Amino acid sequence: MTSKRYYISLDDKIIGTTELEKADAPMGIVFGQIQFNDIIFGYDFFKKYCLENIIELADSYPEDKFISTRTIEKLKVINEKGIEIKSKGNQVSGMDGDEFEITLEGVAYPFFEEEFPHHVTAYNDQFKESE
């Protein structure tokens, strides 16, 4: 299966992409590694952005350059057709020199099933008896 690529925008500017390759299908959660367009995106960028925009941080460890945000309202994930993946919340977490990940929480059904049928199938296949 060919992976879908999703665009990540912040303040209406594309900052990177993700494949949203992981999921918790019953909870409507998808997440995946971020491929940033520019090296400026990382701990310092997100820390400054969150402080300037009064966005709560779940965790911040300056000595390790690790950050985990709460929902960033102006952060959007858009599919290849230009449709935003609407969710109840999002989170960006990661560490400089390692990787960053985006999580979308509470993506509603039936949209979740239509956009991520492979995640729903993978979840359902866990419960099938082996033949």
**What would the pLDDT profile of 85-127 be if each residue is shown by its tens digit?**
999 999 999 999 999 999 999 999 999 999 999 999 999 999 8
User: Are 106 and 26 a contacting pair, CB within 8 Å?
Assistant: no
Q: How confident is the model at residue 130 (pLDDT cuts 50, 70, 90)?
A: low
The reported pTM is 0.92
What torsion do the CA atoms of 81, 83, 84, 87 make, to the nearest 10 degrees? -110
Contacts of 48 (CB under 8 A, 6+ apart): none
Please report whether residue 99 resides in a domain: yes
Which DSSP state fits 26?
Answer: G
Q: Helix, strand, coil: what percent of the chain each, to 5?
A: 20, 35, 40
- The alpha carbons of the chain give a radius of gyration, in whole angstroms, of 16
In the prediction, which pLDDT does 39 show? Answer: 86
Please report whether residue 18 resides in a domain: yes
In the prediction, which pLDDT does 2 show? Answer: 62
pLDDT above 70: residue 1 = no
Please report whether residue 124 resides in a domain: no
Count up the domains in the chain and report the number: 1
Please report whether residue 61 resides in a domain: yes
Residue with tokens 């993506």: 107
Please report whether residue 112 resides in a domain: no
pLDDT above 60: residue 41 = yes
The domain containing residue 80 runs over which residues? Answer: 6-107
- Work out the average pLDDT over 25-44: 96
Q: How confident is the model at residue 50 (pLDDT cuts 50, 70, 90)?
A: very high
User: Are 70 and 77 a contacting pair, CB within 8 Å?
Assistant: no
